[in-house]
Amino acid sequence: MKTATPQTNNPPATGFANRNRNEKTMNESTIIQLQPHDEHNRELESNVHPPEWQNPTPADNYHLVVIGAGTAGLVTAAGAAGLGARVALIERELMGGDCLNVGCVPSKGLIGAARVAATVRDAAPFGVNVPEGSAVDFGKAMERMREKRAGISHVDSAQRFKDLGVDVFLGQGKFTDDNTVTVTRKDGSVSQLKFKKGVIATGARAAAPPIKGLDSVDYLTNENLFSLTELPKRFGIVGSGPIGAEMAQSFARFGSEVFLFERGDHILTREDDEAAAVVQNQFEKDGVNLMLNSKDMELAPAADGKISVKVTQNGTQSETVVDQLLVAVGRAPNTDGLNLEGVNVDFDKKGIQVNDNLQTTNPRIYAAGDICSKYQFTHAADFQARIVIQNALFAVGPFGKKKSSDLIIPWATYTSPEIAHVGMYPKDAKEAGIEIDTYTQQLEHVDRAILEGNDEGFVKVHTKKGTDKIVGATIVAENAGDLISEITVAMQNKIGLAGIGSTIHPYPTQADAIRKLGDQFNKTKLTPFSEKMLGLLRRLNVGK
């Protein structure tokens, strides 16, 4: 399947993310520029940072002032307002944060299009013959993503939150004392907000890793990747974590020649090794050039605006020239400009320090989401926000205080196949002194997976040794991100493998792989005597 590069009046956008985000000051002049400026991005902007927005007159005092309107801030503000609290929400860039604008939402739009491209490419074994010369229209795929993102954006819009009873302030928030935040707009106007409790939900941003020559080239991060309108012919990606892996496979499926640079000896190094191996095998089938064991990276401008990438692999230096380079390594907390020192909120390069109740070192101020959590996922930020609402508004009374350590947080990497995980890995259990049993069901023995041609993968569950208590699980499957929820529900509600095994699952489904693990566990409970009795009963039934 060849790739068409459509002509467009909108050049590939690199503008806003070429600035050094580590040196920026947090003020309204640094608002992310949505490129290209088409009808979809204009709709998005009108929702999440409307140019004509007028900040309201502040209330005399707020129960909560929330700085940051990403997932954590939005959930905190909406939930608290729904309970009758007076809430102010401050956002200096785009409401919806990274997830809506430059993260979860646009990336899944691209991944969806890339999966369709791969399905068409690999349709012949199913008896579906695609005409020779069929092409991927990358520009159209990106336009569709922008359209869908804009359509979703009203949920996070300034107007919707105003309608929910939240006072929405656009501009830079800054603590001036223990109960005051000022909001400064680009025009210099200032609002002063008094509060009983404050919440910091400013999130994190792409960090510039220490790569020689990085400052000499125009590179992409997640903040401007989704503004591309033309497909890079040769695309370099630094880092094979979730973002790097997802985009490497997607762009390869669109038709780019992708070079994925990774310091380790395999991709997705934080995941289960066997799970990563399954995905890596698919990457090779998709044509991703895996530049593993890449050390001593050096970047430099090359001819015609291209980028030279030099690395040393196993003692040998090589050079790769690419049209675009995505740097997908590292995140930095958005703590600049908040005057945290002035209100005694401790923080470091990893983010704001909080206790188990998500309270900062200033007892009047809480934090939630990427700014303070090692779990930098939208769903984690959502549930941390719920903890903040209860602890900030109902610290005294029958509800008590909620702990973030009680959260059971699953996650997924949306490659094909996907990898999803929840709970402990074996190394975590070993460090905690917990002995485990491991049960594995290969998808090659699951009928639905076989019939759909998606039988490379497995479900692996770890239980506390000698019991059916689940302490962790990893799934590798096309829809692993959906399947992991069954195990998460079981863990949350203290249902073991035996309970899953006794639950009827519809046939044929991929989820039947999880039920089969319950059968595996139940077989381990058979004593030699019970096995002999069952054998006798089977023989007697045969005799009849």
In the predicted structure, residue 18 carries a pLDDT above the cut 90: no
| Model pLDDT for residues 138-184, shown as the tens digit of each residue | 999 999 999 999 999 999 999 999 999 999 999 999 999 999 999 99
Residue 95 contacts residue 162 (beta carbons within 8 Å): no
The answer to whether 262 is a known ligand-binding residue is yes
Domain that holds residue 422: 417-524
In a domain, 438, yes or no: yes
pLDDT in tens, 325-377: 999 998 999 999 999 999 999 999 999 999 999 999 999 999 999 999 999 99
Q: Is 244 one of the annotated binding-site residues? A: yes
pLDDT digits (tens, 9 = 90+) for 280-289: 999 999 999 9
**Do the domain assignments include residue 513?**
yes
Asked whether the beta carbons of 261 and 345 are under 8 A apart, the reply is no
Q: Is residue 435 part of a domain?
A: yes
Q: Give how many domains the chain has, as a whole number.
A: 1
- Does 112 count as an annotated binding residue? no
Residue 11: predicted pLDDT: 37
Q: Which two tokens stand for residue 458?
A: 């497995």
| Residue carrying structure tokens 């566990």 | 521
Q: Is 108 annotated as contributing to ligand binding?
A: yes
Tokens of 532: 């002999």
pLDDT over 50 at 22, yes or no: no
DSSP codes, 73-108: HHHHHHHHHHTT--EEEEESS-TTHHHHHHSHHHHH
Give residue-wise pLDDT tens across range 31-49.
567 899 999 999 999 999 9
Q: Does 70 belong to an annotated binding site?
A: no
Is 262 contained in some domain?
A: no
Residue 479 forms part of a structural domain: yes
Tell me the backbone φ, ψ of residue 189, rounded to 5 degrees. -70, 145
Confidence of residue 9 (pLDDT cuts 50, 70, 90): very low
- CATH number where 500 lies: 3.30.390.30
330 annotated to a ligand binding site? yes
Helix (H/G/I), strand (E/B), else coil: 42: helix
- Please give the share of the chain, as a percent, with pLDDT higher than 90: 87
Is 212 among the domain residues? Answer: no
DSSP string, 101-156: HHSHHHHHHHHHHHHHHHHHHT-GGGT-PPPTT-EEEHHHHHHHHHHHHHHHGGGG
- In the predicted structure, residue 30 carries a pLDDT above the cut 50: no
Span 9-20, mean pLDDT? 36
Determine the Cα–Cα distance for residues 326 and 288; give it in Å rounded to an integer: 14
Query: Rounded to two decimals, what is the model's pTM?
Result: 0.91
243 is in an annotated binding site: yes
Long-range contact pairs involving 493-500 (C-beta distance under 8 Å, separation at least 24): 494/469, 496/463, 496/467, 496/468, 496/469, 496/470, 496/521, 497/439, 497/461, 497/463, 497/468, 497/470, 497/521, 497/522, 498/468, 498/522, 498/525, 499/468
| SS3 state of residue 60 | coil
Q: Any known ligand binding at 241?
A: yes
Has residue 6 got a pLDDT over 80?
A: no
Whether 460 maps to a domain, the answer reads yes
pLDDT, residue 25, reads: 35
Q: How confident is the model at residue 28 (pLDDT cuts 50, 70, 90)?
A: very low
- Inside any domain, residue 492: yes
Q: Kindly report, residue by residue over 398-409, the tens digit of the pLDDT.
A: 556 899 999 999
Radius of gyration of the chain (CA): 26
Q: Is 242 annotated as a binding residue?
A: yes
How far apart (Å, rounded) are the C-alpha atoms in residues 37 and 35?
5
